[in-house]
Amino acid sequence: MSSTMLIRTGWKLRAIIKDVKKVAGKDLGAENIFECFKCGLPMEPGKVTVSYLGSSFPVELLKCRQCGLVLITEELALGKMLEVEKTLEDK
Amino acid sequence: MHSAGRCRVYESDGLRRVTGDSIRPGGFTLTGRALALCSFPPGARVLDVGCGAGATVEHLITNHNLVATGVDPSPVLLERGRQRRPDLPLREASGENLPFADGEMDGIFAECTLSVMENPDRALVEFCRVLKVGGRLVVTDVYARCPDFVPALRRLPLTSCLTGAMSRRELNDKIKSAGFETILWEDHSKLLAELTARLILTHGSLDAFWGKFACGPVSCREIKETVKKSRPGYFLLVAGKNG
């Protein structure tokens, strides 16, 4: 099943965002397991630098250890990343 | 610093996880900016008031060849510093009562600490006493860009640089009354916004961060809204001691 990735236009990531698919994990908890659509490897937490309005932040996001693909889930995009956007816009 | 029984935000692990031991927006960014402006010679005596765990004292000694000393009234933070670097010259004292002779220091740093002192007026007079004539005072801190909400900030049951923020005018008046001449004022509010962003990314939301300190009838949302209405900004001020 393909997941929808939402990312507001202002954010920049140093890794390339491509399609990912959510896979049905059998014993690892299906809701939180993603694999890279291109490489077929499970995505793992890794350091990523995200930028918005000239400010950069190191964060830990799910990424593919082979191709560097980064996943931003809908929950993340509409949750704390949106709150960060508003904070920086209100500066 | 502020009265006992209030939550001291600057002692919390939730803040230190984001700021490290500098416990302020921008870390050493504005320390470096101030050092470039003040041009202290190697071996100059400088005091960090509200040194916490001594991160700035260590930075000034190691990276700038200054004879730096730190004071802080928090035994919790001083102990953290001593465990990390037992050789650092850190002493337990408040900014309002400095254990140094008149004119002993070439420079004084108060980075994000004047706003958490019980009596900033008295502290500034102490800074002036301890500085040499021509010495430099470096203050970085939060300020309220909407001064009308300063009284509401003071009523929050927290001790933090946000709840103790002054307006720019009030701060300038205090600096002048204590015997200083302001040499430089710069706005660095972006550093505060970036720290806020890091708190959100680390804790999930500002509600979650302030929720660690909510107590009594004041909710985390009320804390967040009161702080927001005051439009907190961040500044660097350099002042000289008049002759």
Domain assignment present for residue B150? The answer is: yes
Cβ of B176: how many Cβ atoms within 10 Å?
14
Residue of A5, A84, A86, A17 whose CA lies nearest to A51: A84
pLDDT the model gives residue B70: 98
Q: Do A55 and B194 touch (CB under 8 A)?
A: yes
Check CB contact of B198 with chain A, cutoff 8 Å: yes
Q: How far is A9 from chain B (nearest CA, A)?
A: 18
Domain assignment present for residue B93? The answer is: yes
Q: Which of B193, B194, B205 lies at the smallest CB-CB distance from A80?
A: B205
Domain assignment present for residue A50? The answer is: yes
pLDDT in tens, chain B (243 residues): 444 456 777 777 788 888 888 888 999 999 999 999 999 999 999 999 999 999 999 999 999 999 999 999 999 999 999 999 999 999 999 999 999 999 999 999 999 999 999 999 999 999 999 999 999 999 999 999 999 999 999 988 888 888 899 999 999 999 999 999 999 999 999 999 999 999 998 888 888 888 877 666 677 788 888 999 999 999 999 999 987
- Residues A49 and A66: their CA atoms lie apart, in Å, by 17
Domain assignment present for residue A60? The answer is: yes
A25: pLDDT strictly greater than 60: no
CATH code of the domain in which B123 resides: 3.40.50.150
Range of the domain at B151: 7-241
Domain assignment present for residue A7? The answer is: no
Q: Do A91 and B193 touch (CB under 8 A)?
A: yes
Chain A, 31 to 90: residues with Cβ < 8 Å from chain B are 55, 57, 59, 79-80, 83-84, 87-88, 90
Range of the domain at A81: 12-89
ipTM above 0.85, yes or no: no
How much of chain B, in percent, has pLDDT values that exceed 70? 96
Query: What's the alpha-carbon Rg for chain A, to the nearest Å?
Result: 14
Residues in chain B: 243
Domain assignment present for residue A38? The answer is: yes
**B161's tokens:** 């640089």
Residue of B208, B188, B207, B205 whose CA lies nearest to B197: B205
Query: Which amino acid would we find at residue B166?
Result: M
Check CB contact of B190 with chain A, cutoff 8 Å: yes
pLDDT the model gives residue B222: 85
- Residues A84 and A76: their CA atoms lie apart, in Å, by 11
**Residue B12 per-residue DSSP state:** -
pLDDT in tens, B168-203: 999 999 999 999 999 999 999 999 999 999 999 888
pLDDT the model gives residue A76: 84
Q: Which residue has the tokens 């706003």?
A: B115
CATH code of the domain in which A72 resides: 3.10.20
Domain assignment present for residue B2? The answer is: no
Into how many domains does chain B fold? 1
A23: pLDDT strictly greater than 70: no
Residue of B58, B212, B229, B205 whose CA lies nearest to A75: B205
Domain assignment present for residue B1? The answer is: no
pLDDT in tens, A55-88: 888 888 888 889 888 888 788 888 888 899 888 8
Domain assignment present for residue B191? The answer is: yes
Domain assignment present for residue A4? The answer is: no
**B4's tokens:** 């006992």
pTM of the model: 0.83
Q: Which residue has the tokens 């260590």?
A: B58
Check CB contact of B67 with chain A, cutoff 8 Å: no
Q: Which of A79, A80, A91 lies at the smallest CB-CB distance from B189?
A: A91
Domain assignment present for residue A53? The answer is: yes
3-class state of residue B109 by DSSP: strand
Domain assignment present for residue A80? The answer is: yes
Domain assignment present for residue B173? The answer is: yes
Interface test with A, best of B191, B194, B203 (most A CBs within 10 A): B194
Domain assignment present for residue B64? The answer is: yes
- Residues B141 and B236: their CA atoms lie apart, in Å, by 7
Into how many domains does chain A fold? 1
